[in-house]
Amino acid sequence: MRKLCPNLDRDDSLDTVLEVPIPDEMLINAPGADKRRGAGGANMRAWLKNQAFDRATVDGAASATAELQLFLNVVGSPLIPCPVPHDRAFSRSIRDSSIQASTAKYIIQQYIAATGGQAALQGVRSMYAVGKVRMCASEFHLGDQTVTTAAAQGRAEVGGFVLWHKTPEVWFFELIIAGHKMSAGSDGKVAWRQSAAEHSHVSRGPPRPLRRSLQGLDPRSIANLFSDAVCIGEKILHNEECFILKLEAGAATLRARSAPAFDIIHHTVWGYFSQRTGLLIQLEDSHLLRMKSGKGHRRSENIFWETSMESVISDYRYIDGINIAHGGHTNVTLFRYGEGSVNHKRKLEETWTVEEADFNVHGLTTDYFLPPADLKKDVEDQNK
């Protein structure tokens, strides 16, 4: 991945360090790129001239921009259903619980041991990860018809990301893909997201961790998240016998995330833990939202959006004594249905790899996780 950007005005100037490293595939596929070896600098210039980080729209069809926003928002930066309790996995006893809850706690104890042990996990104060993603979409099913998009014809978008993480509710994430840049974060009080194509906005409800960090990157948060889960059975996945842990967002959290225009009906997450290794090898969640649409005699009509995500987690490797996942694949299904609405279904896919990661970053203070200035002002005005 490219971490340096050449000066486009002067060849004898120092290179600039990129905030988000760029995968080499993005440079090779850029318009005007040189396919020959050793043409990295020229390809970087060609790629930069075709980017639109600071433009609200991108040249081309509006559908292509909408497609990319779907990638950025739905696949790139979803949040976990509920807040993560602080180190509950390390303090709660296996006793005095139901059989399902006690079994889940025992499974989490095995997971803690498999990822480095309690002392190593509790010694983590911060972390960062740099990686690359490849995203594509399937055919768009509208009622009984199939609508083929450019992405469904085999076109995949490649991008790079950086994740900075201090606690489960304090994090910052940046993703660049196809000339679009999206950033999201949480300062422990408010979670937010912004991009050039849409205004900054606050995620409703209490601050929650980024789902990507719980795809094997943050064992401590994974253990704490499933500390309140129950074991609902066993299943063989990818030739591994697994325990299944289930966790549902509470009613109070769902109400806090709802709004006058929509209700969150449920948000459930499942974790599949290998009986052989103790590691998390698959993460699933399902999210159902009801839109309160219609006026007059159509006021009672509701439209439902169901989002299902399934992430296969792999390539575990140790860094500073902590075992984290360095790759995986996510399938996302979007399904819309309801009274007076034409049903439609869409599938998205993402493959990710972690190229670099480290723990306990020196000098990483909470000041690095502040929300954008305009968003911070809006939040302060609402609280007055």
Residue, of 60 and 352, whose pLDDT is higher:
352
- Give the model's confidence band at 320: pLDDT under 50 very low, under 70 low, under 90 confident, else very high: very high
Cα distance between residue 264 and residue 272, in whole Å: 25
Q: pLDDT for 173-193, tens place per residue?
A: 999 887 788 899 999 988 998
Which stretches within 125-218 are classed as H helix? none
* Mean predicted confidence (pLDDT) in 126-151: 76
3-class secondary structure, 48: helix
Residue, of 279 and 194, whose pLDDT is higher:
279
**pLDDT at site 56:** 45
Residue, of 46 and 98, whose pLDDT is higher:
98
Residue 118 lies in a domain: yes
Structural domains of the chain, count: 1
**pLDDT at site 55:** 47
Cα distance between residue 364 and residue 125, in whole Å: 10
Sequence-distant (≥ 6) Cβ neighbours of residue 302 within 8 angstroms:
290, 291, 292, 293, 294, 338, 339
Nearest to 311 by CA among 132, 70, 75, 72: 75
Residue that the structure tokens 């300062």 belong to: 187
**pLDDT at site 146:** 62
* Mean predicted confidence (pLDDT) in 121-140: 89
Average pLDDT along the chain: 82
Residue 42 above 50 pLDDT? yes
Residue 27 lies in a domain: no
Residue that the structure tokens 């408010």 belong to: 190
- We report the CATH number of the domain holding residue 378 as 2.50.20.10
Residue 63 lies in a domain: no
Residue 37 lies in a domain: no
Residue that the structure tokens 């190229």 belong to: 355
Sign of CA pseudo-dihedral 148, 154, 158, 161? positive
Residue 257 lies in a domain: yes
E strands in the chain: 2-5, 16-22, 127-142, 145-147, 157-167, 170-177, 180-187, 191-195, 198-202, 230-237, 240-248, 262-274, 280-291, 303-319, 322-338, 344-359
Least confident of 105-119, 223-237, 351-365, 368-382: 368-382
160 touches 131 (CB < 8 A): yes
Residue 225 above 90 pLDDT? yes
345 touches 335 (CB < 8 A): yes
Least confident of 151-165, 231-245, 261-275: 151-165
Residue, of 107 and 157, whose pLDDT is higher:
107
Residue 356 lies in a domain: yes
- Give the model's confidence band at 39: pLDDT under 50 very low, under 70 low, under 90 confident, else very high: very low
What are φ and ψ of residue 252, in 5° steps? Answer: -65, -40
Residue 268 lies in a domain: yes
Residue type at 16 in one-letter notation: T
**pLDDT at site 59:** 45
- Give the model's confidence band at 265: pLDDT under 50 very low, under 70 low, under 90 confident, else very high: very high
272 touches 314 (CB < 8 A): no
Neighbours of 49 (CB within 10 A): 11
66 touches 197 (CB < 8 A): no
* Mean predicted confidence (pLDDT) in 74-78: 84
Residue 310 lies in a domain: yes
Domain containing 353 equals: 71-382
Residue, of 259 and 146, whose pLDDT is higher:
259
